[in-house]
Structure 1
Amino acid sequence: MAEVVTPPPAAQVASVMTPVNLILLSLFAFLVYLRLKPATPQTLPRAPPPTVFRTFTPPELFPYNGQNGMPVYLAVRGQVFDVTAGRNFYGPGGPYANFAGRDASRGLACGSFDEDMLTKDLDGPLDTLSDLDSEQMEAMRGWEERFSEKYLVVGKLVAVGSDEAKAAAARQ
C-alpha cells in the first residue's frame, strides 16, 4: 500500500500566503472597514436669522434695498414683503430695483418703473392711492396676491409721526 505523504505545516501556511490571497484579504479588510467605520455626522445649514414682524416708516424701510448685504424689502398697500429670495429682480441691478426699500404700490398699479412713481418725500404722508382707477387697483391687488403667495410679510408700512410709528419707536 502506498503511503500518503502530508506536507509539513509550514508548507501549508506558505501556500495560503500567496500574493493573490494577500491582496484579496487586504481588499476584504478594507471593505469591512468602510462598512463599519462611523459615519461623519450630518451638519445642517445654518438657519436664517428669525424675522420679526415690525412696523416700518418709509425712512426705516429705505435701507432694505439689497445693498451693503441688507435684505430686500418692498411695500405694497401697507404690507412689507421680504423679497430677498427674488434679489435678481428686486435687488441692485434688477428690473424692479427702484422698488427695493420703498412703497411699490403706485408703480405696480400703474405698470411703471419710473422714478416719478415713487414717493419722493420719505418723511411725508403715505400715498393714499385714491386717484387710481379700478383697473389700476385690480392690477395692484394682483401684485399683492402674487407677493403674498411667494414672499413672507415682515411688517407693515406706516407714516412718519403716526401713532403706530410712535408706538413702534417706544417698543424699541
Structure 2
Amino acid sequence: MAEGAQDYSADVPPVAAEAAPIMAPINMVLLAVFVFLVYLRLRPTPPPTLPKGPPPTVFRTFTPRTLLPFNGENEQPVYLAVRGRVFDVTPGKNFYGPSGPYANFAGRDASRGLACGSFEEDMLTKNLDGPLDPLNDLNDEQKEALEGWEGMFEGKYLVVGKLVAAGSQEAKAAEA
C-alpha cells in the first residue's frame, strides 16, 4: 500500500447472503400474474351464440302478378315457377337474380323457357292476369327437358308456393 493510505477493508463487515423477504415487490407481481392466468383458465365462458337464420318461409299461393316482385331486386328473394310450383332460388341469385344469365325467369313462370331452352322474352307469360300456359304444345323432348329442370330445382331449392291463374278460385281464396 502507498504511504499514508489507510486500509479500510478491515472496517467493512463481510457481505452476508440475506434471504429476500417473501413479500418483495417482484414476488407480488409474479403472484398477481399467476392468479390472473389461473382466473383466465378457469373462468366460465359464455355460451356461443348462433347467427340468426333467415325468416321462415310460408307456403303461399301466387298469381303471375304477385310472383313478379320476387325477382331479386330491392332486397327481395328470387322466386321462379316451374309447372305450377314456385321455387325459392335465392341461393342461386348469381344465376337467377338481376344481371344473372337466367334473370328473365326471376319472378316469372319459367316453364316454357326452360322446356324450349330459350331465354327469349316471348317465352314468358305476357298477360299476367290471364290463364297460365298449359304447355300442351310441347314435344316429348321439350317435356323431358322440363322434367329435368324441375328435378334439379326439387333437389336444390325449396318449394315456397304454387302458381295459379289470376281470377281462379284458389287466387281469390289466397287474397281473402
TM-score, with length taken from structure 1? 0.85
- Report whether the alignment pairs 1:65 with 2:71: yes
Once the two structures are superposed, residues 49-87 of structure 1 have per-residue CA deviations (whole angstroms, 9 ceiling, x without a partner) of 111111100000000001111111000000000111111
Give the ranges of 4+ consecutive aligned residues of structure 1 lying more than 3 Å apart after TM superposition: 15-19, 21-27
- Distance in structure 2 (CA, Å) of the matches to 1:40 and 1:93: 43
What's the offset of the Cα at 1:18?
7.2
How far, CA to CA, are the matches of 1:97 and 1:46 in structure 2? 28
SS at match of 1:155: strand
Q: Which structure dedicates a bigger proportion of its chain to helix?
A: 1
Whole-angstrom CA distance in 1 between matches of 2:88 and 2:41: 46
**Alignment root-mean-square deviation, CA:** 2.1
The match for 2:13 is none
- Written as runs of structure 1 = structure 2, the 5 A alignment for 1:65-84 is 65-84=71-90
Q: Which residue of 2 aligns with 1:103?
A: 109
- Closer, same or farther: CA 31–123 of 1 in aligned 2, 3 Å: same
The answer for the alignment partner of 2:21 in structure 1 is: 14
**Residues 115-134 of structure 1 correspond to what in structure 2 (within 5 A)?**
115-134=121-140
TM-score (norm 2): 0.83
Instruction: Name the structure 1 match of 2:118.
Output: 112
| Correspondent of 1:86 among 79, 88, 92 | 92
> Per-residue deviation at 1:124?
1.2
1:154 alignment partner, SS class: strand
Gaps of 5+ in 2: 1-15
**What is aligned with 1:29?**
35
1:41 counterpart residue number: 47
| Deviation sequence 1:119-166 (CA, Å, 0-9, x none) | 111111111111111111111111101101111000000000111111
Q: What is the rounded CA distance, in whole Å, between the counterparts of 1:23 and 1:146 in structure 2?
A: 67
- Counterpart for residue 50 of structure 1: 56
Determine whether 1:150 maps to 2:156.
Answer: yes
Identity %: 70
**How far apart in 2 are the matches of 1:68 and 1:51?**
18
Task: Provide, for residues 17-74 of structure 1, a one-character-per-residue CA deviation record: whole Å limited to 9, x for no partner.
Answer: 474x556434422321211223133222112211111110000000000111111100
